[in-house]
Amino acid sequence: MSYETVISPEALATGLEAAREGSADWLVLDARFTLDDEDWGRRVHRESHIPGALFADLATDLSGPIIAGVTGRRPLPALAVWAATLSRWGVRPETQIVTYDSSGGMMAAARLWWMLRWAGHDRVAVLDGGWPAWIAEGRPADTSVATRTPVPFQGHERAAFVADVGLVDEIRLNPTWALFDSRSEEGFHGLGVYQDPVRGHIPGARLANRADTLDGAGRFRSPAELRAHYAALFGDVPVERVVFYCGSGVTAAQNLLALAHAGLGDARHYVGSWSEWITDPSRPVAL
C-alpha cells in the first residue's frame, strides 16, 4: 500500500515493522520547527524522535538562499539542490516517506510533503496529529542517529504546482481564478504578531485559514468535510485555477495537503508568499 496524503500513527508503526523485517523501504523525516527558535527542531530531534527518523531542517534543507529585496523568507531551493538532498537521504522511487512535526503538519511537514511531490515523488504522507499523536499513543521514540545509503534521486519537476509572483499579480482580480491567503483572519487583516515589516494581504485574495483543515484534536478533518469546506471556498473555480499563499510559503502547504487528502487534486502554491510580495513597494497591499 502507498500512502500519499495522510497516515495514522498505527499505519506508520505497521510500516516501520515491515521496514525492520526488510520487506519495505520506509523513511521518516522529522520536520519539527518553530519560528521563535530555529534551532529548536534539531535540538528536540536529538533528544527524542520516531525510531529511524532523519531530521529535515526547514531553514536549510527545505529552503534556498534568501535574496534581499527579491525572495520571500523561505524560498525554494534550486531543484538540483533539492534532488541532491533527497539523494543524500536515500530516496528511491519505491521509498515510502512519512513526514511529521509538532503542529499537525503546518510547521513544516506539509511543506516537506509538497516539496517531495513537486520533485516527482508521490509516495509521501504526513503523520496525522504529528509528534504529539505518536507520543500520546505510547509509541516508541529514541535518540539514535539513523543513516541511509545515498542513491541518485530519480524525479521530475512538476512546474504546474508552482505560481510565481507574475502569475499571482495577473490573476488576483480575475474571477475565473481564486487566490487564497492561508493565514489566520487576524494575520490576513494585518493584526497580531507579524514576521514581516508590512502588514496586510494581497488585494483580491480571500481567506482560507490553514488551521481550518484540522479538528479540535489536531487531526485532519475527514475527506468529506474537507470537500464541503473547499466547495464553499472555491465556488465554480476549478482546483487547477486556485492559488494558495501564506506569510513565508510554509503553512500554505497545509491547504494543498488537505485538498489532496479530500481527493480534489492539486492547486498551485505561491511559495514566495506575502514576504516576497512586499519586497516590491509598488505592489498593492490591502488590509
Domain boundary, last residue among 121, 136, 151? 136
Q: Is residue 143 part of a domain?
A: no
19 and 117, same domain (yes or no):
yes
Q: What does the pLDDT profile of the chain (287 residues) look like in tens digits?
A: 899 999 999 999 999 999 999 999 999 999 999 999 999 999 999 999 999 999 999 999 999 999 999 999 999 999 999 999 999 999 999 999 999 999 999 999 999 999 999 999 999 999 999 999 999 999 999 999 999 999 999 999 999 999 999 999 999 999 999 999 999 999 999 999 999 999 999 999 999 999 999 999 999 999 999 999 999 999 999 999 999 999 999 999 999 999 999 999 999 999 999 999 999 999 999 99
164 and 224, same domain (yes or no):
yes
C-alpha cell at 277: 510580495
Ranges of beta strands (E only) in the chain are 6-7, 26-30, 54-55, 96-100, 124-127, 178-181, 206-207, 242-245, 268-269
206 and 101, same domain (yes or no):
no
Q: Which of 147, 149, 86, 150 is nearest to 120 (CA)?
A: 86
Q: Is residue 141 part of a domain?
A: no
DSSP string, 229-240: HHHHHHTT--GG
Q: Please give the C-alpha separations between residue 93 and each of 51, 116, 152, in angstroms, as whole numbers.
A: 22, 11, 10
Domain boundary, last residue among 79, 105, 136? 136
198 and 273, same domain (yes or no):
yes
Q: Is residue 233 part of a domain?
A: yes
Domain boundary, last residue among 105, 121, 136? 136
120 and 191, same domain (yes or no):
no
CA distance 84 to 99: 18
18 and 132, same domain (yes or no):
yes
Q: Is residue 71 part of a domain?
A: yes
Q: How far is CA 143 from the centre of its chain?
A: 25
CATH number of residue 103's parent domain: 3.40.250.10
What is the domain range of residue 94? 6-136
Contact between 268 and 166 (Cβ < 8 Å): no
Q: Is residue 146 part of a domain?
A: no
Contact between 143 and 180 (Cβ < 8 Å): no
| Burial annotation 106-126 (CB, 10 A radius, 16+ → b, else e) | bbbbbbbbbbbbbbbbebbbb
Q: Is residue 128 part of a domain?
A: yes
168 and 255, same domain (yes or no):
yes
106 and 182, same domain (yes or no):
no
Among all residues, which ones are annotated catalytic? Answer: 246
119 and 216, same domain (yes or no):
no
Q: Is residue 283 part of a domain?
A: no
CA distance 258 to 182: 12
CA distance 34 to 80: 26
How confident is the model at residue 1, as a pLDDT? Answer: 84
Q: Is residue 110 part of a domain?
A: yes
State how many domains the chain has: 2
64 and 166, same domain (yes or no):
no
β pairing state of 26-30 and 178-181:
unpaired
